[in-house]
A and B are shown apart, each in its own frame.
Chain A
Amino acid sequence: QSVLTQSPSVSAAPGQKVTISCSGSTSNIGNNDVSWYQQLPGTVPRLLIYDNNKRPSGIPARFSGSKSGTSATLAITGLQTGDEADYYCGTWSDSFWVFGGGTKLTVL
């Protein structure tokens, strides 16, 4: 069980918008930057969002992140079938890194 809580699953239709939340505490999200990772089926995780809301080179603008207090949110607009994946939030606390439990996105 992770100290960062994510909903196990979320679903939406192609073209729609979906949000994935990550809930923590003042010792982790409340005081440190959050990053998000996408893991397509059978592949290596890749960095999607860092420093709460920044996108690495090559990540489409359809993906965005935000943070408020002790929670962070990943938003994906214009959903595509290729976005079906597990999404993990992550941050650090007291010199340790923590990942959320992951959210499985299904594009109906």
Chain B
Amino acid sequence: QVQLVQSGAEVKRPGASVKVSCKTSGYNLMTYGISWVRQAPGQRLEWMGWISGYNGHTNYAQKLEGRVILTTDTSTRTFYMELRSLTSDDTAMYYCARADYDFWTGFTPFDFWGQGSLVTVSS
């Protein structure tokens, strides 16, 4: 069965970076990418970006472009989200979700989600 297992909670100081992992299993890695979604406490879902499982191509939300880096290690089927220059506004639950993207047909729905990784930014 499809599984996305994320790394554990992190506490970071303002200005630091955080790297969250998402280990996948149970499906063809070449046919799906991973979107990253975050949710600040009591707030809505916010899409951060997407990375292809096929060729590592990325799309980033304009708001976060330049601070977020999505990578993948196909040998371990693990996807990574690194967020730099953290502020208290980045305190949130971070989710990975399976989805594919094609320039012509757009995104597939986010059908499987990781359990979430809580990132707390505090001095």
Given the known inter-chain contacts A45-B95, A92-B106, please indicate yes or no for A99 contacting B45, CB distance below 8 A.
Answer: yes
Chain B residues with CB below 8 A from A32, complex form: 106
Summarize B's interface: helix, strand, loop or mixed. strand
In the assembled complex, B115 has its CB within 8 A of some CB on chain A: yes
Chain B residues with CB below 8 A from A51, complex form: 109
Are B116 and A37 within 8 A (Cβ)?
no
Given the known inter-chain contacts A35-B110, A56-B111, please indicate yes or no for A97 contacting B44, CB distance below 8 A.
Answer: no
Are A101 and B95 within 8 A (Cβ)?
no
Task: Give the interface residue-count category, chain B.
Answer: 20 to 34
In the assembled complex, B16 has its CB within 8 A of some CB on chain A: no
Closest to B45 in A: A99
Question: Within the complex, what minimum Cβ distance (angstroms) separates A5 from chain B?
Answer: 12
In the assembled complex, B35 has its CB within 8 A of some CB on chain A: yes
In the assembled complex, A102 has its CB within 8 A of some CB on chain B: yes
Chain B residues with CB below 8 A from A92, complex form: 106-107
- Among residues 1 to 35 in chain A, which have CB atoms less than 8 Å away from a CB atom of chain B? 2, 32-33, 35
Question: Within the complex, what minimum Cβ distance (angstroms) separates B11 from chain A?
Answer: 20
Chain B residues with CB below 8 A from A100, complex form: 44
Cross-interface CB contact of A102 among B45, B103, B106, B109, cutoff 8 Å: B45
7 inter-chain pairs at a CB distance below 8 angstroms, sorted by A residue, are: A2-B44, A37-B110, A45-B95, A88-B45, A92-B107, A96-B59, A99-B44
